[in-house]
């Protein structure tokens, strides 16, 4: 009963993420997974476009200046483009951590998501719990401010945003595909 008890406990807990709730873009997928007796989600992100400020004086300290889980536009993101240190524009694909009842369930899930185009899927924990990580591989990652100075022209920054939007849309299509497949996944 440990798996069932853990599932009940985890799903009953308060969300500790920075956002404090599941992104709407991935909520239905999490629900489909959690309604399956062999699985439950421990964390998720539907994919995002972010401005990340890295303070080079403080290692491992990074701050989000902007976050969007949807397509965005030049004006919205430019307003947040202000820093005295270093800023990167990043687009990151969806990520899901799913606890599986047993090895067989983990294998079935990995096979499903790989077959529909999620290249990065693997079991990241084997000992106490069987946890599968699924990552959508679209990404973009480019510096936009260095030493407090904007290093991209407006024109190039627009291209970066347009490319990030394209990738976030591709990521959404893959999530839709995953959702459809999960509806009949036993």
| Strand boundaries in the chain, DSSP class E | 39-45, 48-54, 62-68, 86-92, 95-100, 120-125, 130-135, 139-146, 149-150
The answer to whether 100 and 131 have CB atoms below 8 angstroms apart is yes
Residue 148 touching a copy of itself (CB under 8 A)? no
Residue 117 touching a copy of itself (CB under 8 A)? no
Residue 95 touching a copy of itself (CB under 8 A)? no
Q: CA 24, CA 41: separation in Å to the nearest integer?
A: 15
By CB atoms closer than 10 A (0-12, 13-18, 19+), residue 1 is: exposed
Q: How many CB atoms lie within 10 A of CB 28?
A: 15
Site of tokens 């185009």: 117
Residue 106 touching a copy of itself (CB under 8 A)? yes
Residue of 23, 42, 123, 169 that binds a copy of itself (CB under 8 A): 123
Taking CB under 8 A as the binding criterion, the range among 34-42, 65-73, 157-165, 168-176 that sits at the site for a copy of itself is 157-165
The distance of closest approach from Cβ of residue 129 to a copy of itself in the complex, given in angstroms and rounded to an integer, is: 12
Residue 129 touching a copy of itself (CB under 8 A)? no
Number of residues that bind a copy of itself (CB under 8 A): 28
Residue 11 touching a copy of itself (CB under 8 A)? no
Q: CA 102, CA 105: separation in Å to the nearest integer?
A: 5
Residue of 11, 62, 103, 116 that binds a copy of itself (CB under 8 A): 103
Taking CB under 8 A as the binding criterion, the range among 47-55, 69-77, 119-127, 171-179 that sits at the site for a copy of itself is 119-127
- Closer to a copy of itself by CB, 77 or 106: give it: 106
Distance of CA 64 to the CA centre of its chain: 14
Residue of 2, 155, 183, 186 that binds a copy of itself (CB under 8 A): 155
Distance of CA 152 to the CA centre of its chain: 26
Task: Summarize as ranges the residues that interact with a copy of itself (CB under 8 A).
Answer: 103, 106-107, 110, 120-127, 132-133, 139-143, 146, 151-153, 155-156, 159-160, 163
């Amino acid at each position: 009963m440990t798996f069932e008890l853990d599932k009940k406990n985890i799903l009953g807990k308060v969300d500790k993420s920075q956002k404090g709730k599941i992104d709407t873009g991935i909520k239905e997928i999490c629900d489909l997974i959690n309604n399956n007796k062999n699985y439950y989600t421990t964390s998720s992100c539907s994919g995002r476009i972010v401005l990340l400020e890295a303070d080079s004086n403080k290692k491992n300290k990074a701050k989000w200046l902007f976050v969007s889980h949807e397509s965005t536009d030049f004006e919205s993101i430019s307003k947040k483009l202000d820093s005295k240190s270093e800023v990167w524009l990043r687009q990151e694909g969806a990520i899901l951590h799913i606890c599986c009842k047993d090895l067989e369930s983990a294998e079935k899930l990995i096979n499903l998501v790989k077959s529909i185009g999620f290249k990065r899927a693997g079991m990241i924990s084997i000992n106490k719990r069987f946890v599968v990580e699924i990552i959508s591989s679209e990404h973009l990652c480019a510096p936009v401010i260095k030493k407090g100075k904007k290093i991209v022209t407006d024109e190039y920054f627009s291209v970066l945003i347009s490319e990030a939007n394209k990738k976030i849309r591709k990521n959404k299509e893959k999530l839709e595909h995953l959702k459809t497949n999960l509806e009949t996944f036993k």
